[in-house]
Amino acid sequence: MLKGVHQKLEPQQTPSFFVRGASPFSRMVFFCALSIILMAMDARLNYLSQLRQAFIGGLHPVERIANLPSEFIRDSAKYFSAHNQLVQENYMLKQQAFQHKVKLQRLNTLKAENEHLRSLLGGDIPIHPRAILGDISHTGRDPFRNVVIVNRGSQHNILAGQAVVDSKGVIGQVTRVYPFSSEVTMITDKNLSIPVQVERNQLRAIAFGQSGNTLDIPYLPTNVDIKIGDKLVTSGIDGIYPSGLAVATVTKIEQDPESPFAKIISTPTAQVSHHLQLLILELPDTIEADLKTQDTDKQEAVGAKTKKSNQKRTKPRASP
């Protein structure tokens, strides 16, 4: 037998397949400390902002894809609700258009009859003024005045005194004109008044602006024939506002036993706070000619003063 066969073999340990490093707890502490240090440095130095923006930009397509289901559900619900709303509005508008067509047929008949009666009586047919469309740029800076600025001025043939209206009624009047903009004073301003008449009984009066977006009609007796809900329209006696334009609706009537006059409050019909477009009506030819004549006279007066001052400056002095 071979020598050493019966010798006892010592057990050998198999080598580990993975090399073990630090313990999991130590690694957790290390990475937590590293994270805190990086967050503190980023908060102080802000050196990861570009990296963060690039990372967010790279994730944007993934975010869009993840939001597609919710956006699809939201857009689908919005589409069906908007479709139902549009169908209902279309039906209502068709009914209103049909009613308006019937009223327009009667209006054309009344218009032709009115023109015929005026021609028989020798009266003049009312002239409907032309209008210039303008947009509201901004409101006035003065908190004590109720004015708006429109993007039409002297370069667009706008003159001070022109009436301004919208689709509902009278808004106000042009008070200042600049080269490319104009200042429009609202009818609710305290410095503006407008001649009106009650549409029901043709009672004439003058409406003054009041604070709180209202109009006051003073100097009417307590027994005047005016009721809450009466519509006020322009009378046209001032030659600026065409007759028949909607101005306001009477909303409050107060009668004081100690005062011979009634306090009548009305609310304007125009809704300038709801939209940005308005119409600037052209003045009648006579008023427009007078305004242009006044402007020409002012320019001539300024030119004469300038010429006279220049002559005084260039006058030679007498020799001693």
Residues near 204 by Cβ (< 8 Å), separated by ≥ 6? Answer: 195, 196, 197, 235, 237
Compute the distance between CA of residue 287 and CA of residue 283 in angstroms, rounded to an integer: 6
Q: pLDDT tens string for the chain (320 positions)? A: 445 555 555 555 555 555 566 788 888 888 899 888 888 877 777 777 777 677 777 877 887 888 888 888 888 888 888 888 888 888 888 888 878 877 777 777 777 777 777 777 665 555 566 888 888 888 877 778 889 989 898 888 999 999 999 888 899 999 989 888 899 999 999 889 999 999 989 899 999 998 778 999 998 988 889 999 999 999 888 888 888 889 999 999 988 888 888 899 999 998 767 767 888 998 876 455 555 566 556 556 555 555 555 555 544 444 44
Residue ranges in 205-314 assigned as alpha helix (H): 285-314
| pLDDT for residue 70 | 83
Phi, psi (degrees; rounded to nearest 5) at 232: -105, 130
Helices (H), the chain: 24-45, 49-121, 285-314
Cβ–Cβ < 8 Å for 263, 205: no
Residue pair 112/156 in contact by the 8 Å Cβ criterion: no
